[in-house]
Amino acid sequence: MLVHICCAVDSHFFLKQLQKDFPNEKIECFFYDPNIHPISEYRLRLLDVQYSCNKLNINLIEGPYDLDSWLKKVKGLELEPEKADRCTVCFDTRLETTILKAKELGHDKFTTTLLISPKKSQEKLSIIGNKLALEHNIQFIFKDYRSGQGMHLQAADVKENSLYRQNYCGCMFGLNMQRDGQNKLCDELISPINNQNLPESIESRLEVYTQRNYNESNNINYKIIKQRFLNYRLISASICVEKVVIPSYFLCYSTLNNQKANGRIEYSKNNIHYLNRDEIKIIDISTFNQLTNSKYNNTQELMYNPLTFENEEKLREKIIHGKYDLSCIIILDIIPNSKIEITCNSKVFEDVKEVLI
């Protein structure tokens, strides 16, 4: 039997139940999910599925990540709600590819862990699965493992095995609508040009679950806990001097009330320069290097090869001499004598992150 897998949260309990119901069956898994976006989220879910399958001693096969092809198939359905026509096309695509892989590998049965997801229509999956089974002369196994105590047992299984519990289905269209409904920033789709690892980004979660795998492999005691904290994302920012945009770097947690400000240097002390409005502070790249023990040649180099977010927080505390300050701290190559125009579109928001202890 070939089992299509969407994520470890859905698959781990589902596969354990299949092993009980089909003790003599050779079960293989097929991770084929071109709908998952961004690619870092795809990698994280694949990592988690690999971890789960290793625990269950089940062979895993990765399908192609053909996002472009998937996007073409769902074109025109971007605004469809969850469980509507876009999901139908998505199911068709993934299950048809699964059934072709099953025949290629010599399996006479196939199924999907999408059946246990509360966000998916079992009826729709059953219709598609049985239709494809008839067309390709292969048996579709329908199992409802979410009824009764299924969801409770699945949740307990996820917690016991420290599996990654994602907070959206996978596709960018469903994610956007979900975040709009929650009135939340869709920060999963924000990726900084400098590739800095941001708090509670997908990349930071990938680090946590990579470390989980290492700890498991080396019998190191650990636990993944959740922490509430104040998160931050910089959307866009710039500095203009005499109508010319100059290279600049905005330190983490830099904010402006109205996203725009202008002013002149009013006071300087210890190479920290204070504007005459909006609590804005500026240092040059030389001072930045001294405070961080770095060797950046210019601000543009810093822009594309930044410090870690944690080290930026430490620098901010050095300059401010305290925590919980949200004023703009900006790094420039040289400190201008003329008027400075500043834009800073950033978001500060309550969030919850996973931490491995």
Instruction: Please name the helix (run of DSSP H) or strand (run of DSSP E) that holds residue 33, with its range, or none.
Output: none
Tell me the domain boundaries of the chain.
2-189, 234-350
Give the separation between CA 126 and CA 142, rounded to whole angstroms.
7
Tens of pLDDT, residues 252-299: 999 999 999 999 999 999 999 999 988 999 999 999 999 999 999 999
Q: Which residues pair with 229 in a beta bridge?
A: 351
105 pLDDT above the threshold of 90: yes
Contact 251, 312 (CB under 8 A): yes
Given this model, what pLDDT does residue 83 score?
A: 86
Q: Tell me the per-residue pLDDT of 64-104, one tens digit each, with 9 for 90 and over.
A: 999 999 999 999 999 999 889 999 999 999 999 999 999 99
**What pTM did the predictor assign?**
0.92
Is the model's pLDDT at 59 over the cut of 90?
yes
Beta bridge partners of residue 227, listed in sequence order? 353
**2-189, superfamily in CATH?**
HUPs (3.40.50.620)
The H or E element containing residue 241 is strand 224-241
Identify the residue whose tokens are 């961080």: 292
Q: Is the pLDDT of residue 45 over 90?
A: yes
pLDDT tens figures, 140-160:
999 999 998 989 999 999 999
Peptide bond into 38 cis (omega under 30): yes
In this predicted structure, the answer to whether residue 321 has a pLDDT above a threshold of 90 is no
57: CB partners within 8 A, 6+ apart = none
